[in-house]
Structure 1
Amino acid sequence: MARNGSGSGSLLVTRRNARLDAFLKRNTERGLYERIRTCEPCVVVSDSVSRVYMHAVLSDERVYLTEFSPRTLTEAVSFGRVRDIELVNDLPDFLSAKDRERCQHIRITYVAEKPTRKEHDWLQGGKREGLPPVAPPTRRANHCTTMTHSFEGYPAESRWRNKEPVLRSTRSVFCSEPETLSLLRAPRAPENVQKQSRTSAAVVVQVRRRSGSVLTRLLRRDEASREREREAELHLYAVCQTSRLYLQLQSCWNSFLIRSTLLLDPLYRRRSAASPDSFSLEQTAHLFSQVSSELLQDGVGVEDLHLLLQELSTSAQRNVALRRLFWRSSEVCFSLVQTLEDCLQGQQSLGGATTDQLLLSSLIVQTLTATLAEMQVEEATVSLLLAKKGILLSRMLLALICDPQMESRGSPTDAELQASLSEYLDAACSLLFELLLFGYQSSRCSSAENFVSVGWILRVLQPHPHLLPFIRYQAQQVVQVLSGLQGSFLGPARSVLLFQRCRLLLTCLQHDSQLALHLQTHFREEFRYFVTPSCAEKLLPESPIRGATIKLIEWIQTHAGRIISQDLNNTQL
């Protein structure tokens, strides 16, 4: 970990080794290079790599390893195969006494790949060597923590689209195995075999129509085959006390789960299909400058503002370089927060907001969510959010909370207002989810300058007059989903939103006694009978995020049950 500059965000940011960075830039495709999140030295343990000092290279899809003096880049594990990432509380005996005390031992549990499987080699001209399963070292104790991450994407006809078509895969993470792909690309059978199988094929189609979509069946079959595969482990020992490797791994993994789940939605997949790789960094910077200038100009109309925000949020979802540029531009971010305050909070004090104001507020919040995705440890993001004792972060937090029972002003019907308000409350939950992730990551830094934590965020929100109704609304949505009141099947977007809401509820139960008591008071029976893993298993389709959501619900049930038990004991006393 390198201390990059000064100020409150210095310890949150990693700076790549110059030699390694030059190697990656020279030998990897530009699309992969721009998606690399961090590079950090660590000791690696596996069957074939025994206690070797290497660099771990994290992209948004995979973990790579390269020698400390880089010569080759090897894929260690894809996030699609990861089952768990945890910190192990032990003292590795192969490290020196000094390194042993400050070491962070990270264990990645994943489904081992089959030896015959061939992967795409991201290292141009290089020969890829697979990483065998890992032999776990001796451990003393185990301690696990969890982080989450998400992003949203939105439609817009954009100047950021490629001028030339780009071929890219739109398969889901669960359709990446050769066995599954054979179901989609089976070799053509001889004519006589085809004739004999037509009757049975028609029956199969009818059965599939009755039992659900073909995609759902493929996902379930693929999940079952995965469960039969052998699990393996990869052990990374980060010897720097201020290492951010664990947080980056958690962030990349959870972001991958969310993105892969959303890509199961054909509409979302179509919106996300355009690749920004044909644009150079200079072109991206020029186009972002154009959009920024139009957003900041005086007298911009509401319709133009809508179009600009749609373009910005869609482009930010596709282009990580643009997200970095956004957080380097404090004027744009402050302008959006100011507009949100004027558009939503100012109108609430006057008795309510109009449907148009709610729609614009939703779009602003969605844009902030899209630009914040995976940017929580970027230098520009940290510096901007923590500047002047976190004034921007505080304003953003207070601006996004609103009254779920807001009254209308003007002519819109109750149904129109309620639909717009529900859309805004969904978007506000997603942004709060991202900001809480920032708090989780910041709190793990030991520097006194890093004052932001999850507790700090909740304390900032505590004086807001609508905080309790807002949290209560989010809990009600979780209960309605898990009780089946909103339908028996959750699509990808609703599955992701359920995951985010569960993370929010768990945070309240863990980190704020007042919010925990409020949830326990209003949802005692619901937490006992509906917010349960069994209810989630019935309603959640097979998707990358399913397992993580069920685990969150297990923790919610555990913490809520503990609060209820304490309350009963106090009552008896």
Structure 2
Amino acid sequence: MATADAGGLLCRRNSKLESFLKRNTERSLYERFRAYEPCVVVSENLDKVFMYVVLSDDSIHLVEFPPRTVRRVAGFRDVTDISLVNDLPDFLSGRDRDCSQHICVVHTTTKGLGGKHAWWQQEKSKSCPPASPSQRKTSSPHDGPDSVLLSTYSAPPKIDSWKATSPSRRGEEDEGQQKLKQRRSTFCFSADLKELHVSSSQHLPMAFPSSSRLSSCVPLSAQRGDTGRNIGPGWRGSILTRLMKKRTVERQSTKEESRRTELHLYAVSPSSRIYLHLQSSWNSCIIRSTLLLDHQFRKRFRISPRSCPQKQHWRSWECTAHLFSQLSWELLQENITLESLYLLLQELSTAAHRNTTIRRLFWKSSDLCLFLVRILEDTLQDHLKISQEYNKIHRADKLILATLVAQILGLMFRETEVESARFSLLTAKRGALTERLLLALVCDPEMDLWNAVNGPLIPSQDPLQAQQNLLVEYLDAASALLFEVLVMSQQATYTSGLEHFVTVGWVLKTLQSHSFALPFISYMAQWVVLVLSHSVLSPAQAVLLHQRSWVLLTCLQNSASLSQHIRTMFQEEFRYYVNISWMEDKLPPHYPISQPTIRIFSQVLHLVLQSS
């Protein structure tokens, strides 16, 4: 379980609760728990019951007090709103009543779900049925998002279990270090990420069922040799047609039975952070769920959209840490070539997308984070020094590397807010590393934004157009990274302690000290206006619109100078070219991020159009 110290973003640790969760939940779920806090819970089935609210990366769970059972009450994909209610609960008294936080979680639920289906013991068998022995032997390219830890260049051998190396066997381990260095997939679960190249990637063949599994689909009369019935493609097609029709009817009935319900949480601690954790977990879940709708995103990171959340790796933390330390050691080698650096960073990015443990390990040591920030500083400085007439290929390589580094740093921030190591590193020495990161990611857009936004990013023979496309990709990655830094600083703003120096006001003040801060913010505002001219936004564009709208809202609410600049430069554009009803047509309703984005942008529109 991801935990933080008492001075961090979590409440005081409860060893009894953690021990209960560790004993009564599967390891894959236990490692995904991010935060917990005692609250008074009010819902349709609970009336002012004191329980522990436990948050994972995709669900809200409730644990009885004292811990006896654990129940999943809502998934973040079904949540439509999380808000604070300004009231004083009547059932509390004294200091608890004055310091309480009333949080209302609005989510959709299905009428057929209730009672026993929500309990973990019943739920885990329905959501992820155990694989048969024949299924365990063959890995598929469509395994779960955490089925692969780190990419490799060779297929993994069969391993039944992993155990810690005893001191008597260290000699044998030392002899196999060279082989392990070239075969990092020894402890991985599939070879999906092997042979990762910069320019092209090979597609692995689909895993077909064995003949023994196919025979189970044939009627018993056919297995006995009865030829009176025609068993052929037509028969199979009719069966599949009836099954598809049945599923369609079931989905329609399920959709009709779904309804809105509310979960009310009353945090009685004056230093409660449960609201921030709810917002962060919900935000991360809708971003991940929306990106999984993008075919290019799934293809790039070999992720299946139908993968079960509970179907994640169960290997030991020590095994993953060993593989991650080996990759970090290779990255930190001196005199590493640009191509080798890019390949290793691609491997790190792919592993972090598929496994949250990699992101948590990233913050355990400051060496790799400092290394990536230094790369971002050096590459962008070289990019500004190199003219367009000199060494255009080197300039393009620098932009590609800077984009990958910005994407990795933005990814490492996601779902790691409860890591005390991350918070300590970014706030140490009055936020020195965070200041370097902010000043490194900002650059001059220097482009015709209309062509950049409305024109497709396709390979171009024109070197200038190709570099413009690369710059657009970097600016997208930099905006996403700035969004994650501001989310982190917002959490620090509401955390008590003088050592928590990285606040929203400090981040915006540091950002304004950069010479290209105003053009960078102007680019984001102009992009938001122009991108809404598209017919329908792709999942990646919807996520980027959500992130840039949130950054603009933060600037409008917390910086007088940036707010005045946005109103002065873009008030007319927002007045005549942006409309909430138009925006609803651009964002498909099946995107999990659509409704939150519309709510955020409506606040941005209100603040921009109001009289200064």
TM-score interval (norm. to shorter)? 0.7 to 0.9
- Tell whether the 8 Å contact from 1:160 to 1:315 is kept in structure 2 after alignment: no
- Tell whether the 8 Å contact from 1:16 to 1:38 is kept in structure 2 after alignment: no
Larger radius of gyration: 2
In structure 2, what is the equivalent of residue 441 of structure 1?
491
Change in 2 beyond 3 A, CA 1:21/1:156:
closer
1:371 deviates by 1.1
Question: Aligned partners of 1:161, 1:423: CA distance in 2, in Å?
Answer: 34
- Tell whether the 8 Å contact from 1:54 to 1:67 is kept in structure 2 after alignment: yes
- Tell whether the 8 Å contact from 2:34 to 2:55 is kept in structure 1 after alignment: yes
Change in 2 beyond 3 A, CA 1:349/1:269:
closer
- Is 1:307 the counterpart of 2:343? The answer is yes
Amino acid at match of 1:470: F
- Is 1:247 the counterpart of 2:276? The answer is yes
Amino acid at match of 2:405: I
1:39 deviates by 1.3
- How many equivalent pairs are there? 486
In structure 2, what is the equivalent of residue 518 of structure 1?
565
Change in 2 beyond 3 A, CA 1:362/1:55:
same
1:164 deviates by 4.2
1:77-108 CA-to-partner distances (Å, cap 9, x unmatched) read: 11122111111111112123011111111111
1:349 deviates by 5.0
Choose 328-337 or 273-282, whichever is displaced more.
273-282
Question: Aligned partners of 1:98, 1:109: CA distance in 2, in Å?
Answer: 27
- Is 1:292 the counterpart of 2:289? The answer is no
In structure 1, what is the equivalent of residue 468 of structure 2?
418
- Is 1:498 the counterpart of 2:540? The answer is no
In structure 2, what is the equivalent of residue 544 of structure 1?
592
Name the SS of the counterpart of 1:328 in structure 2.
Answer: coil
- Tell whether the 8 Å contact from 1:11 to 1:447 is kept in structure 2 after alignment: no
1:42 deviates by 1.0
Question: Aligned partners of 1:534, 1:227: CA distance in 2, in Å?
Answer: 25
Change in 2 beyond 3 A, CA 1:115/1:294:
same
Unaligned runs of 5+ in 1: 129-153, 167-190, 203-217, 567-573
- Is 1:360 the counterpart of 2:401? The answer is yes
Amino acid at match of 1:232: T
Unaligned runs of 5+ in 2: 127-147, 153-183, 192-229, 242-247, 389-393, 449-460
**1:174-185 alignment to 2 at 5 Å?**
none
In structure 2, what is the equivalent of residue 557 of structure 1?
605
Amino acid at match of 1:330: S
**1:344-423 alignment to 2 at 5 Å?**
344-349=380-385, 354-405=395-446, 413-423=463-473
In structure 2, what is the equivalent of residue 182 of structure 1?
none
1:49 deviates by 2.0
Amino acid at match of 2:37: E
Amino acid at match of 2:297: Y
1:204-229 CA-to-partner distances (Å, cap 9, x unmatched) read: xxxxxxxxxxxxxx9xx989986984
2:27 aligned to which of 26, 30, 40: 30
Question: Aligned partners of 1:103, 1:498: CA distance in 2, in Å?
Answer: 34
Question: Aligned partners of 1:365, 1:358: CA distance in 2, in Å?
Answer: 11
- Is 1:93 the counterpart of 2:90? The answer is yes
Question: Aligned partners of 2:543, 2:55: CA distance in 1, in Å?
Answer: 23
Choose 55-64 or 522-531, whichever is displaced more.
522-531
1:257 aligned to which of 276, 279, 286: 286
1:407-439 CA-to-partner distances (Å, cap 9, x unmatched) read: 9xxx98101210111110000000000001001
Question: Aligned partners of 2:257, 2:31: CA distance in 1, in Å?
Answer: 35
**1:440-459 alignment to 2 at 5 Å?**
440-459=490-509
In structure 1, what is the equivalent of residue 528 of structure 2?
478
1:488-543 CA-to-partner distances (Å, cap 9, x unmatched) read: 12111111111111111111222212222222222122111223212211211231
Question: Aligned partners of 1:414, 1:259: CA distance in 2, in Å?
Answer: 33
Question: Aligned partners of 1:162, 1:276: CA distance in 2, in Å?
Answer: 14
Question: Aligned partners of 2:336, 2:326: CA distance in 1, in Å?
Answer: 14
Q: TM-score scaled by structure 2?
A: 0.73
Amino acid at match of 1:421: L
**1:186-197 alignment to 2 at 5 Å?**
none
- Tell whether the 8 Å contact from 2:21 to 2:30 is kept in structure 1 after alignment: yes
1:312-356 CA-to-partner distances (Å, cap 9, x unmatched) read: 111112222211110111011011101111111354256578111
Amino acid at match of 2:276: L
- Tell whether the 8 Å contact from 2:5 to 2:420 is kept in structure 1 after alignment: no
**1:74-93 alignment to 2 at 5 Å?**
74-93=71-90
1:46 deviates by 2.4
1:377 deviates by 3.2
In structure 2, what is the equivalent of residue 139 of structure 1?
none
Tell me the percent identity: 48
